[in-house]
C-alpha cells in the first residue's frame, strides 16, 4: 500500500443540520438533515431541478447555506476546503495544459511525484504528455478523476461525472471509481440522474424531491455488484418507481378502487 492510500485518516464524517438554500424567493433546498459516516458512499438521485446539485455545491463550499449548519468531523465549516475535491460533469480540464500539468494543478511541488502514480491507476499512465483535446470523453473524465485523487481528498464529490459518457464507458468508469474508493477509503457523495448507477456504486441512495429528502434507502448488496443480479434489479426498480412516483407494488388492488381508475382519482368533465 503506497503513499496515495490514506486508510488511516480515511474519509470525513459529514453532517447536515437543517441545511436550506434560497435563491431569491425560490427555496431550492429545505431543512435538509443528513448524516454520512466516514468512508461511506452515498448517492443522491432526483429529477432535474430538485435541488440535488445545490446540495452538492453547498457541501463543496461553492454556495453558502441560507440556514442550517454543515459539520465535518464534528466541526462547523463554511467555504472551500482542501480536504474536499469535486469531479464535474464536464471534465473541466484546462485545455492549454497537458494532462500531467492538469493533474498537478494546485498541487504542492513536493507531491508532484504522486501524479504519475495516480495517472497509472486511472489507466492514463502513458497519456500524461497529451493535450486534453486529444483525449476521448472517457479519458478526460479519467484525467479529471486523477486530478481529484492526487490531492488525497477525504471527501470526494461527484457531480454527475458520468452523465455525458456512453453506456460502456460509464460501466468501466463506475468500476474504476468503486475500486479507487475501496482502496483509498474517502467519503463519497455522488449526484446522479441514473438510478442504476446509484445502486451500483452507493451504500445508500437518497432521493430528493422538491428540495426535501424523500427517501433514504440502504443498498445491502455485496461488492462487486453485477447489474444482472436479481436483487440489484429489484432494488433499482423500487427506487426508480419511487422517483417516478408510481404507487408501491405491494399496495393491494382493492385500495386502488376499480381497475382503470387513475391513481389521482376520477375527474369529471362537466
Partner 1 sequence: MTSQVRELPSTAIPVEPDGPGLRPSFLRPFFTAVGGRLLPWLVPLVLVAAWQAASSFGWLSTRVLPAPNEVLRAAWALAESGDLWVHVKVSAARALLGLAVGGGLGLVLGLLTGSVRIAETLLDSSFQMLRNIPALALIPLVILWFGIDESAKLFLIAVAVFFPIYLNTFHGIRSVDPGLVEMGRTYGLTRWQLYRHVILPGALSSILVGLRFSLGLMWVILIVAETISAQSGIGYLTMNAREFLQTDVVLVGILLYALLGKLADGFARALERWWLRWHPGYQAAA
Within 13 A of 215's CA, how many CA atoms are on the CB side?
21
| Distance separating alpha carbons of residues 173 and 145, to the nearest angstrom | 10
| C-alpha span between 178 and 122 (Å, rounded) | 12
Cell of 121: 491507476
Is there binding between residue 72 and partner 1 (CB under 8 A)? no
Query: Smallest distance, Å, CB 101 to partner 1?
Result: 9
Closer residue to partner 1 in complex, CB, 142/147: 147
CB of 131 to partner 1, least distance (A): 5
Site string for partner 1, 96-115 (x = CB under 8 A): xxx------xx---------
84-87 β-sheet, strand order? 84-87, 155-159, 187-192, 41-45, 204-209, 212-218
From candidates 92, 234, 246, 256, binder to partner 1 by CB under 8 A: 92
According to CB under 8 A, which one of 3, 35, 37, 62 is a site residue for partner 1? 62
| DSSP, residue by residue, 53-78 | HHHHHHHHTSS--SEEEEEETTEE--
Rule CB under 8 A: say whether 131 interacts with partner 1: yes
Residues 173/185, Cβ–Cβ less than 8 Å? no
Candidate ranges 43-51, 65-73, 131-139, 188-196; the one touching partner 1 (CB under 8 A): 131-139
Interface positions with partner 1 (CB under 8 A): 60-62, 80, 82, 84-86, 88, 90, 92, 94-98, 105-106, 131-133, 147, 151
Amino acid at each position: 500500500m503506497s503513499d496515495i492510500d490514506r486508510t488511516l485518516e480515511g474519509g470525513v464524517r459529514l453532517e447536515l443540520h437543517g441545511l436550506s438554500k434560497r435563491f431569491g424567493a425560490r427555496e431550492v433546498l429545505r431543512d435538509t438533515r443528513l448524516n454520512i459516516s466516514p468512508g461511506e458512499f452515498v448517492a443522491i438521485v432526483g429529477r432535474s431541478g430538485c435541488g440535488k446539485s445545490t446540495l452538492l455545491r453547498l457541501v463543496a463550499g461553492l454556495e453558502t447555506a441560507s440556514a442550517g449548519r454543515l459539520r465535518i468531523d464534528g466541526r462547523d465549516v463554511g467555504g472551500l476546503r482542501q480536504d474536499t475535491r469535486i469531479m464535474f460533469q464536464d471534465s473541466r480540464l484546462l485545455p492549454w495544459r497537458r494532462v500531467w500539468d492538469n493533474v498537478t494543478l494546485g498541487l504542492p511541488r513536493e507531491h508532484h511525484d504522486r501524479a504519475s502514480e495516480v495517472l497509472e491507476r486511472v489507466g492514463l499512465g502513458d497519456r500524461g504528455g497529451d493535450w486534453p483535446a486529444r483525449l476521448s470523453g472517457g479519458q478526460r473524465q479519467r484525467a479529471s478523476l486523477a486530478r481529484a485523487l492526487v490531492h488525497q481528498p477525504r471527501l470526494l464529490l461527484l457531480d454527475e461525472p458520468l452523465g455525458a459518457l456512453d453506456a460502456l464507458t460509464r460501466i468501466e468508469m463506475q468500476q474504476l471509481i468503486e475500486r479507487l474508493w475501496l482502496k483509498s477509503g474517502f467519503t463519497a457523495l455522488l449526484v446522479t440522474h441514473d438510478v442504476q448507477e446509484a445502486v451500483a456504486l452507493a451504500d445508500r441512495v437518497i432521493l430528493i424531491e422538491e428540495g426535501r429528502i424523500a427517501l433514504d434507502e440502504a443498498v445491502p448488496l455485496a461488492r462487486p455488484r453485477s447489474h444482472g443480479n436479481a436483487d440489484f434489479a429489484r432494488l433499482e426498480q423500487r427506487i426508480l418507481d419511487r422517483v417516478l412516483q408510481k404507487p408501491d407494488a405491494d399496495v393491494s388492488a382493492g385500495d386502488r378502487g376499480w381497475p382503470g381508475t387513475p391513481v389521482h382519482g376520477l375527474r369529471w368533465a362537466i
